[in-house]
């Protein structure tokens, strides 16, 4: 962590309205207290020796939660919720929590769902909005996906702010990934430029769990659990055939967290390929030779590849998608063909199965543990917006729910460090070579 981070949260103005939520202000009366400005969290700085000895206010993260005074008069609030990008377990649970907290705790009665991502704001699509209330959202957390629908792109900022003005929206909850949050920030800046009083609060969504500063992204754990079931099947298939090889592709555009955790959870994986760890395909130390060795020794192998792995082996750049994400070549079908060809040339009969379960994994409902997390994120997003905070995200840091400035969070990504104990555990669990590079570093 470098010194330049400033974790100060922007606000629309002073919070002067007494909150309708009644909490205690004294300790030890068995009743929860309001969160105050003194509730601050130290960001991640494990390894005490090199940790800073003291902190400035801007080095610390605000704890999320209900404040004694709020900025908005609940009777005048018109809240809007939008979900963007690919599906992720828990989207509906977040939507539900936002609606429940607005309605039941603050008494807000005007809540609008923007449908199909930012496109739902654009007149050209003519998509009607959806009124939200507790009855509508009561059971949605038991369903996968998002009742609002989603889409990529569409973050044409001035037009969106036009729509926000037209609809009279006073707070926007934007649930989505990096691109979405960058969009939300631009929207908030345009709102500021127009001198509007609209809070924009983001709930970061990345099934890949690769947000920097953020301990855990919702849906990630559910995705790993579902992917583990697929690995069990892949292993059954591989063992059922003569020299059976199962190749499974999972999500992970720029980070291998899903692949890594799935391999650790299932213990049936022989090779994990992730974007953070480069590998050669050919040569004595390459992946194909390692795979051959394993298959000849055990008669079966399971290979788990993150979608962003090995992009260096694929064709030249493919541009970006509507959300501004780099388009990836399909490493799954590429490896499928490559393995097939490698063993054909060696005249070794194999039984190769390729499994791509992405749509199944991302469409299931949140696990109980993720459901709790989603509920807390949604609730605290409401507390943040009601208190007038804006241009911030809600996320967990050091096991606490905090506010993070959007600008800080989107500035970089989290990765699996090849030198971490996490990756070390994967190497142990799979038994794969430490590095599958032909000129790898040597350990004495």
Interacting span for a second copy (CB under 8 A) from 175-183, 193-201, 237-245, 333-341: 237-245
Report the distance separating Cα 102 and Cα 79, nearest Å. 8
Contact 219, 372 (CB under 8 A): no
Q: Is 84 in the site for a second copy (CB under 8 A)?
A: no
Contact 127, 119 (CB under 8 A): yes
Contact 217, 209 (CB under 8 A): yes
Say how many C-beta atoms besides its own lie within 10 A of residue 209's C-beta.
Answer: 25
Q: Distance between terminal CA atoms of the chain?
A: 31
Q: Is 347 in the site for a second copy (CB under 8 A)?
A: no
208 is catalytic: yes
Which run of H or of E encompasses 103?
none
Smallest distance, a second copy to C-beta of residue 198, A: 25
Say which residues have a Cβ less than 8 Å from residue 23's Cβ, sequence separation at least 6: 31, 32, 33, 34, 66, 68
Selected from 2, 4, 347, 399, the binder of a second copy by CB under 8 A is 399
Q: Is 95 in the site for a second copy (CB under 8 A)?
A: no
From the list 28, 29, 50, 208, the catalytic residue is: 208
> Cα angle at 288 between 430 and 358, to 5 degrees?
65
Selected from 181, 217, 266, 430, the binder of a second copy by CB under 8 A is 266
Pick between residue 160 and residue 234 the one whose CB is nearest to a second copy. 234
Q: Is 262 in the site for a second copy (CB under 8 A)?
A: yes
Contact 431, 271 (CB under 8 A): no
Say which residues have a Cβ less than 8 Å from residue 317's Cβ, sequence separation at least 6: 326, 327
Q: Is 208 in the site for a second copy (CB under 8 A)?
A: no
Q: Is 33 in the site for a second copy (CB under 8 A)?
A: yes
Pick between residue 36 and residue 317 the one whose CB is nearest to a second copy. 36
| Residues 119-148 interacting with a second copy (rule: CB under 8 A) | 119, 125, 127, 141-146
Q: Is 400 in the site for a second copy (CB under 8 A)?
A: yes
Contact 416, 274 (CB under 8 A): yes
Pick between residue 39 and residue 189 the one whose CB is nearest to a second copy. 39
Q: Is 17 in the site for a second copy (CB under 8 A)?
A: no
Pick between residue 167 and residue 265 the one whose CB is nearest to a second copy. 265
Q: Is 267 in the site for a second copy (CB under 8 A)?
A: yes
Interacting span for a second copy (CB under 8 A) from 72-80, 241-249, 283-291, 310-318: 241-249
In angstroms, the Cα distances linking 19 to 51, 74, 76 are 37, 9, 14
Size, binding site for a second copy by CB under 8 A:
105
Pick between residue 122 and residue 185 the one whose CB is nearest to a second copy. 122
Residue carrying the six token digits 């409401």: 382
Say which residues have a Cβ less than 8 Å from residue 420's Cβ, sequence separation at least 6: none
> Cα angle at 72 between 377 and 163, to 5 degrees?
80
| Residues 159-178 interacting with a second copy (rule: CB under 8 A) | none
Pick between residue 154 and residue 185 the one whose CB is nearest to a second copy. 154
Selected from 20, 324, 329, 418, the binder of a second copy by CB under 8 A is 418
Q: Is 360 in the site for a second copy (CB under 8 A)?
A: yes
Catalytic residues: 208
């Amino acid at each position: 962590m470098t010194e330049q981070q400033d974790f100060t949260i922007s606000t629309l103005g002073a919070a002067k309205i007494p909150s309708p939520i009644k909490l205690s202000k004294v300790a030890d009366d068995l009743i929860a207290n309001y969160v105050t400005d003194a509730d601050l969290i130290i960001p991640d700085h494990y390894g005490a020796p090199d940790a800073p000895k003291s902190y400035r206010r801007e080095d610390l993260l605000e704890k999320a939660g209900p404040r004694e005074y709020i900025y908005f008069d609940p009777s005048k609030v018109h809240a809007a919720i939008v979900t963007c990008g690919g599906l992720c377990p828990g989207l509906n649970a977040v939507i539900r929590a936002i609606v429940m907290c607005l309605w039941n705790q603050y008494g807000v009665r005007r809540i609008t769902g923007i449908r199909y991502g930012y496109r739902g704001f654009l007149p050209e699509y003519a998509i009607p909005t959806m009124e939200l209330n507790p009855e509508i959202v009561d059971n949605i957390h038991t369903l996968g996906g998002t009742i609002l629908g989603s889409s990529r792109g569409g973050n044409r900022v001035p037009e969106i702010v036009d729509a926000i003005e037209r609809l009279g929206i006073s707070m926007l909850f934007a649930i989505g990934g990096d691109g979405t949050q960058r969009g939300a920030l631009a929207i908030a800046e345009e709102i500021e430029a127009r001198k509007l009083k609209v809070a924009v609060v983001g709930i970061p969504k990345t099934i890949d769990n690769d947000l920097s500063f953020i301990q855990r992204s919702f849906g990630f754990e559910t995705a790993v659990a579902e992917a583990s079931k697929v690995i069990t099947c892949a292993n059954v298939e591989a063992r059922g055939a003569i020299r059976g090889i199962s190749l499974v592709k999972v999500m992970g555009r720029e980070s291998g967290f899903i692949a890594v955790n799935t391999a650790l959870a299932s213990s049936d994986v022989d090779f994990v390929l992730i974007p953070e760890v480069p590998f050669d395909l050919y040569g004595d130390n390459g992946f194909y030779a390692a795979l051959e060795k394993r298959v000849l020794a055990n008669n079966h192998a399971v290979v788990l590849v993150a979608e962003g792995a090995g992009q260096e082996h694929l064709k030249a750049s493919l541009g970006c998608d509507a959300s501004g994400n780099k388009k990836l070549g399909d490493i799954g079908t590429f490896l499928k063909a490559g393995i097939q060809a490698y063993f054909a040339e060696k005249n070794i009969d194999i039984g190769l199965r390729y499994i791509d379960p992405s749509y199944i994994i991302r469409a299931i409902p949140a696990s109980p543990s993720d459901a709790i997390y989603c509920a807390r994120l949604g609730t605290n997003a409401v507390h943040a917006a009601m208190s007038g905070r804006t241009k911030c995200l809600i996320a967990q840091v050091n096991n606490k729910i905090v506010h993070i400035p959007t600008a800080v969070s989107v500035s970089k990504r989290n990765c699996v460090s090849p030198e971490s104990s996490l990756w070390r555990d994967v190497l142990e669990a799979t038994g794969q070579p430490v590095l599958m590079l032909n000129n790898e570093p040597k350990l004495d």
